[in-house]
């Protein structure tokens, strides 16, 4: 069954920035989707839109069906309930998301008391179980956030996200603020927990290698659009879109600190969403752009089995372009 179906999602911030421009996504229950792309490509905007967490005045269009119900047309009361019991988010900076003056156990229990119709005693018991689940001693429930390490705080955030038994967990760069050893542990933990409980997972990262390791499918975002998507391993090992190729070349292995830098061989930054280039938005940085790319935008098209990419070279015979050869040789 389809857990999440996103159709033609657009997000325009009050200043006019078109941060998400027509995204379609589909996620079956129990499956894991990775979303990759450099900073500024609209990944967090997409995640926030899924739970209507965007600032007031932001225009959102399209459809977001979670368990068949459209998030965008729901009443606020329903949205608040869905935020915990339907889908929950693990953000990057756990220190900023946790309240410094409350014990972490109380913070994990709070959504259960508010949204899951639970008694205080039951919530306390469940909090202990959740802490154990994420690899922390139940006694840590009495700790304040500053008494925990960064990794432990992120574990608390994960416990909180799981508290109301959501069907979907959205993890937005959940390990970027953590050191390398801890990153791998936390990612494995998230993957293990969603697998055990057959939850859907959307894992956002700029690191393709990490996503290839934890997700079934992978979508690559550029300038507010999905420019490539397909089976995670296949996209990581042989991307079809020149942007996907540049991203995967930049991340040779999980946890490599050098992987924080811009994609190798790709100068510049993603465009400003309030001042997008004409044609294919990637053309000013693209090593294989043709003249027509400055004029003509490309829709996603078939790029091998269960794969799609939005590039003029995909599915077209252009002799001498390595991008095309690679795209073809990968089924
Ligand atoms: P990512 O998560 O991929 O780094 P974001 O979704 O955070 O990307 O940002 C996408 C674009 O939207 C960026 O250009 C960013 O500057 C812009 N943006 C993000 N939040 C706001 C906001 N509240 N108001 C205006 N523009 C924003
Ligand atoms: Mg982000």
CA angle 94, 97, 98 (to 5 degrees): 85
Give the ligand whose atoms come closest to the C-alpha of residue 224.
1
Mutate to test the pocket of ligand 1, among 12, 40, 56 (most ligand atoms within 8 A of CB): 40
* Run of H or E including 274: none
Atom of ligand 1 nearest to the CA of 38: 3
**Among candidate residues 320, 322, 302, the one with its CA nearest the CA of residue 310:** 302
Residue identified by tokens 């300038």 is: 223
- Look up the pTM and report it: 0.89
Distance 202 CA to ligand 1 centre (A): 18
Q: Is 12 in the pocket of ligand 1 (CB under 6 A)?
A: no
Residues 6 or more apart whose Cβ sits within 8 Å of residue 323: 240, 242, 245, 288, 311, 313
3-class DSSP string for 153-205: HHHHHHHHHHCCCCCEEEEECCCCCCCHHHHHHHHHHHHHHHHHCCCEEEEEC
How far is 101 from 239, CA to CA, in rounded Å? 46
pLDDT (tens place) for every residue of the chain, 331 residues total: 799 999 999 999 999 999 999 999 999 999 999 999 999 999 999 999 999 999 999 999 999 999 999 999 999 999 988 988 899 988 876 556 789 999 999 999 998 998 878 899 999 999 999 999 899 999 999 999 999 998 899 899 999 998 888 999 999 988 877 777 777 778 888 888 888 888 999 999 877 888 998 899 999 999 999 999 999 999 999 999 999 999 988 765 445 454 444 455 678 899 999 999 999 999 999 999 999 999 999 999 999 999 999 999 997 644 444 444 444 444 4
């Amino acid at each position: 069954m389809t857990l999440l179906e996103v159709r033609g999602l657009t997000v325009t911030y009050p200043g006019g920035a078109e941060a998400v421009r027509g995204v379609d996504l589909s996620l079956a229950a129990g499956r894991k989707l990775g979303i990759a792309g450099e900073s500024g490509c609209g990944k967090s905007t997409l995640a926030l839109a899924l739970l209507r967490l965007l600032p007031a005045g932001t225009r959102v269009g399209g459809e977001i069906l979670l368990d068949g119900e459209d998030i965008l047309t729901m009443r606020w009361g329903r949205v608040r309930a869905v935020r915990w019991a339907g889908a929950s988010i693990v953000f990057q900076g756990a220190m900023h998301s946790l309240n410094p003056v409350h014990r972490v156990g109380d913070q994990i229990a709070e959504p259960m008391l508010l949204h899951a119709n639970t008694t205080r005693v039951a919530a306390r018991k469940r909090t202990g179980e959740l802490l154990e689940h994420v690899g922390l001693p139940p006694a840590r429930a009495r700790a304040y956030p500053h008494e925990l390490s960064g990794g432990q705080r992120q574990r608390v955030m994960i416990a909180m996200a799981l508290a109301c038994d959501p069907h979907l967990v959205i993890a937005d760069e959940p390990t970027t603020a953590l050191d390398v050893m801890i990153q791998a542990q936390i990612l494995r933990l998230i993957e293990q927990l969603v697998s055990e409980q057959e939850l859907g997972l959307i894992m956002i990262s700029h690191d393709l290698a990490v996503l290839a390791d934890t997700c079934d499918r992978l979508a690559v975002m550029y300038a507010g659009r999905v420019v490539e998507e397909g089976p995670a391993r296949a996209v990581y090992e042989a991307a079809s879109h020149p942007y996907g190729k540049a991203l995967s070349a930049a991340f040779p292995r999980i946890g490599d600190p050098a992987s924080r830098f811009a994609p190798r061989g790709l100068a510049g930054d993603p465009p400003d969403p309030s001042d997008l280039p004409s044609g294919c938005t990637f053309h000013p940085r693209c090593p294989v752009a043709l003249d027509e790319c400055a004029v003509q935008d490309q829709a996603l098209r078939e790029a091998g089995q269960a794969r799609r990419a939005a590039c003029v070279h995909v599915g077209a015979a252009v002799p001498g372009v390595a991008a095309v050869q690679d795209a073809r040789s990968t089924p």
